[in-house]
Structure 1
Amino acid sequence: MTYTTEPISEQTRQRLMKVGTANIANALLRRGFRNAYLLGVQPLAPEQGQLVGPAFTLRFIPSREDLDSMANYSRDDNLHRVAIEQCPAGAVLLIDAFGNTRAAAMGDMMAARLKMRGVAGVVTDGGYRDAPAIRATGLPCFQQRSAPPATPLALHPVALNEPVGCAGVAIYPGDVIVGDGEGVVAIPRHLADEIAIDALDAVEYEEFAAQHIARGRSILGLFPATMESRAEYDTWVAAGRPPLEKI
């Protein structure tokens, strides 16, 4: 099967930059997708920006003493290092570390190189070393927890741009990864455009509902949206979103 890490449309990317991962998870749930959130994966820095991009995958298995050493790690054909040079600009390097935090899935030099190459960010269910220096690069990164020991101690790279399981979620190359202050969610590539529309619509409705709640309105009949509150919202949007009067 052929997978693509071609960029998503700019319109879809801009929509996804405005929505929360929770909104996306809800939109996926309405389509029957219950296992899309990478539970346990957290932003490396609370202040880092929104992450959006197609997945370029790297898969690790446990290391073995006769294959994994610092000498072998430094070879130009080491897939961990090759991934840093092959991950396309605008893509998300998605590292399946099978939840192992005994060794680093990435360090600061790799993060700096990815930032320079225009990669959107990195996600792993493992952990990174040199976390303060990675934060300083400004590259949005997500991990389970810090993992300072050297990579060959526990991780062996075996595959690039193949389907992986990261934090218990099936991710295929090109699936759209979105990360925010709460965590990371994966959108099947063929659903990205419609999920972006639905999630943004949910965010905009929530802004409407929040204004009403701030003015004392009950959430009953307001959130989640009902047919009646949705019609009220549509009227408000058509009127140009004017300030709400106190209820």
Structure 2
Amino acid sequence: MSKLTISTREKLKKVSTATIATCLFKKGLKNQFIQGVKPLQPGKATMVGEAYTLRYIPAREDLNPIEVFKDPKHPQRVAVEECPEGAVLIIDSRKNPRAASAGSILATRLMVRGAAGIVTDGGFRDSAEIASLPLPSYHNMPSAPTNLTLHQAIDINIPIGCGDVAVFPGDVVVGDDDGVIIIPFNLADEVADECLKMTLYEEFVMEKVLEGQEIIGLYPLTNERSKKEFEIWLKDKK
């Protein structure tokens, strides 16, 4: 798996998923924000990490009894043990939260192993316990039933669909209080640089708006006077 540079990772921690979405839209990528997923506990630090994927299919009862967890090669358990440090375990649960994608024990194991977070387009059991962990976590809604009742873990670290978004292993996953967005790995450095500049400009705009300035010509930046004011503002920030 390709690794993010420390610099790019830190830059992405300073920008919002909204800013990233706008940046990706400018590059022609319109469907990168995972639908129907929210943080279990808002207010945590921004989640940034490479995608390590797990895919579920609909469970078939004769192949998915409780005994499957005795298999040391069970994909769900292997995914938890192999998800690299700094990566995000992201799960394709077919947008079905009626059975849990995982619970607090697996989430805690991921945290101890140094994962950057966990995401599912389904639900988690033990959601209050997971929410209390430092580990950023995102799902659709709480769900008590074991995953075996509806989901059959079938593949790890392959391309998946999560919340109507294509996620490839190694893609960059960013999560904040708004939700989760996927950045193709080859664009990560570029997006991080552009978004950091966009974030600085938005900070400048907010200051001007609070001072009573109108947004026409300011947001987006089309007014020459505002351009010069921003350049001066940037120099003062350095």
Normalised to the residue count of structure 1, the TM-score between the two structures is: 0.93
Classify the secondary structure of the residue corresponding to 1:61: strand
1:125-176 deviation per Cα after TM superposition (whole angstroms, max 9, x unaligned): 0110001111222110000111110110000011111001110101100000
Pick one of 73, 85, 101 that aligns with 1:77. 73
Matched, 1:219 2:233: no
Matched, 1:205 2:201: yes
Classify the secondary structure of the residue corresponding to 1:66: helix
- Looking at structure 1, the residues matched to 228 and 169 of structure 2 have their Cα atoms a distance apart, in angstroms, of 39
Q: Is 1:73–1:152's contact at 8 Å kept on the other side of the alignment?
A: no
The range that moved more, 227-236 or 66-75, is 227-236
The range that moved more, 218-227 or 114-123, is 218-227
Aligned residues: 237
Look up the equivalent residue of 1:168 and give its one-letter code: D
Gaps of 5+ in 1: 243-247
Look up the equivalent residue of 1:226 and give its one-letter code: T
Runs of 4+ in 1 over 3 A off after TM superposition: none
- Looking at structure 2, the residues matched to 230 and 193 of structure 1 have their Cα atoms a distance apart, in angstroms, of 25
Matched, 1:149 2:145: yes
Q: Is 2:97–2:142's contact at 8 Å kept on the other side of the alignment?
A: yes
Pick one of 96, 114, 119 that aligns with 2:115. 119
Pick one of 219, 224, 234 that aligns with 2:231. 234
Classify the secondary structure of the residue corresponding to 1:162: coil
Q: Is 2:41–2:132's contact at 8 Å kept on the other side of the alignment?
A: no
Backbone CA RMSD of aligned residues = 1.2
Please report how far the alpha carbon of residue 227 of structure 1 lies from its aligned counterpart in structure 2 after TM superposition.
5.5
Q: Is 1:21–1:183's contact at 8 Å kept on the other side of the alignment?
A: yes
Matched, 1:158 2:136: no
Please report how far the alpha carbon of residue 15 of structure 1 lies from its aligned counterpart in structure 2 after TM superposition.
0.6
Matched, 1:138 2:129: no
Classify the secondary structure of the residue corresponding to 2:169: coil
Matched, 1:62 2:83: no
Matched, 1:28 2:24: yes
